[in-house]
Amino acid sequence: MQGSTTSAPAVKSKAGAVFRVTSGNFLEQFDFFLFGFYATQIAAAFFPASNEFASLMMTFAVFGAGFLMRPLGAVILGAYIDDVGRRKGLIVTLSIMASGTLLIVLVPGYASIGLWAPALVLLGRLLQGFSAGAELGGVSVYLAEMATPGRKGFYASWQSASQQVAIVVAAALGYALNQWMAPVDIAAWGWRIPFAVGCVIIPFIFLLRRSLAETEAFQARTHRPTMKAVFRTLLDDASIVILGMLMVAMTTTAFYLITVYAPTFGKSVLQLSTADALMVTLLVGVSNFFWLPIGGMLSDRFGRKTLLAAMSLLAAITAYPALSYLAQQPSFAHMLKVLLWLSFLYGIYNGAMIPALTEIMPVEVRVAGFSLAYSLATAVFGGFTPAISTWLIHITGDKAAPAYWMIFAAICAFCATLVLYRRLRLGAPVPA
């Protein structure tokens, strides 16, 4: 294995470096999406209960529990990456993530091993969450540090764009299974096939990560903080982390609403076919992939603040009318139309948000600070979006109720953006 002293010119091209570093993001989101889409089958296999609502809520609670580990992973693994380097740290996060994925795939059902089944699935999700706490931050900072001058937004946006490829591939696999297998077979064991595919590609992703070069920005640093120093710096800059968390709230809530929760929403709430729900999600992933780099480029041109404020305000104004229109007239075409609109808002916003978050954090704890803000937002907002959406619909009887949660997140993001940029005066693009 090459050491962290590998120079940036060793990477054949910028595109190659982007592909290598974002490969782990693909695996993470691939597995997370599958967990959300096959929530009904997972609930039956590991969390049997007296009624479908209770079983599904337990499944989504375990799904959300993984996000509670993210802040811990953000601080511990984020500090490790800030100390040893982006390359070595990202290999460690991938190892932990792969362990959690393998565990979930191999666990027998509740009928075979009883309570051990949900306990081991929970352990797998906790491992995934701990790893993901620093994975996103490590990848985003790597991309920002390797970016050419004036194009930091464009390069950093590929962190999220890689996740959309995972959504498309996972949705395509699910669609194919739905065409080739009977529903009873999918429920019994077929749902494990896409997870197994994720496990098969793990060795390939390890090879990609091992060939990464360390960033020149990290190599140029003469001071690397200890874990104690990282904690002290994060505490001293707690207000920046909290404002960053609120800024991420819009991203993480919108993303899990239009991707992970969307198939369940389409099938269970709107009563659309499995094939229609999967196809909508696949097309949303393509849409996200298209808009994210555009959002990054626009933020390089016009500034982060402008896009962040405009998109979060648009989301707060339009989320409920859009979902209410869909709930009143559920159909494949209407679901696609509404989710593509939300995809546009998410893509442009997140394309600007990722580089903004790398810029506002103190350079010596850039990975830890970014990861902590992102992880807290995912734990508080995004990770529990499927569970909260299910609960809101249940208690209100309003099929458009998930919009309330997105509106709240968008308002938090809008206010945080205004306060943050007033304090930091970073409304204009920051030089790379």
Instruction: Supply the range of the domain harboring residue 17.
Output: 13-208+225-424
Residues with Cβ within 8 Å of residue 266, at least 6 apart in sequence:
272, 276, 277, 280, 281, 335
- Pick the residue with more confidence: 240 or 9? 240
Looking at the domain assignment, is residue 62 inside a domain? yes
Q: Does residue 8 sit within a domain?
A: no
Q: What is the pLDDT of residues 301-344, one digit of tens each?
A: 999 999 999 999 999 999 999 999 999 988 999 999 999 999 99
- Is the CB of residue 72 less than 8 Å from the CB of residue 130? yes
Check residue 428 and give its pLDDT. Answer: 45
Q: How far is CA 47 from CA 36, 38, 59, 212, 400, in A?
A: 14, 13, 7, 40, 27
Residue 384 lies in a domain: yes
The tally of domains found in the chain comes to: 1
The CATH number linked to 407 is 1.20.1250.20
Which tens digits make up the pLDDT trace of 43-86? 778 877 666 677 777 777 777 777 788 888 888 888 888 777 77
Residue at 259 is within a domain: yes
Q: Is 346 in contact with 255 (CB distance < 8 Å)?
A: yes
pLDDT tens digits, 253-304: 999 899 878 877 888 788 888 788 878 888 998 999 999 999 999 999 999 9
Does residue 364 form part of some domain?
yes
Please give the pLDDT value at position 253. Answer: 94
Q: How far apart are CA 425 and CA 307, in angstroms?
A: 15
pLDDT of residue 39 exceeding 70: yes
Contact (CB, 8 A) for 19 and 208: yes
Residue with tokens 């306990």, as numbered in its chain: 119
**218: in domain:** no
Helices 304-328 and 238-255 cross at an angle (nearest 10°) of 40
More confident residue, 411 or 95: 411
